[in-house]
Amino acid sequence: SSLPEIVRHGTSGLLVPVDDDAALAGALTRLLHDPRLAATLGTHGREHVVRHFDRRRTLDRLLDLTRSREVPS
């Protein structure tokens, strides 16, 4: 999964282990009981995505990757 590259645990979101229902429930409960934390994580997450994953930058990276794999004719 690419989620850990986008979400930084405790800064822009909360990550839990795959298939760990108890950890997921705990993280959701924490956010429900701490709306300030939920808002802060949401704000930081949006800022991180806007800064590092904008359309132009993503398209430029994709084009660079595609060009580097072109087969010479």
Query: For 1-59, how does the pLDDT look when each residue is reduced to its tens digit (9 = 90+)?
Result: 457 778 889 999 999 999 999 999 999 999 999 999 999 999 999 998 888 877 888 88
pTM greater than 0.75: no
Give the CA count within 13 Å in the CB-facing half-sphere of 36: 0
Cα of 42 vs its chain's centroid, Å: 11
Query: Quick one: pLDDT at residue 32?
Result: 98
Report d(CA 47, CA 21) in Å as an integer.
28
Secondary structure tally for the chain: helices H, strands E = 4, 0
Cα of 31 vs its chain's centroid, Å: 17
More confident residue, 61 or 5: 61
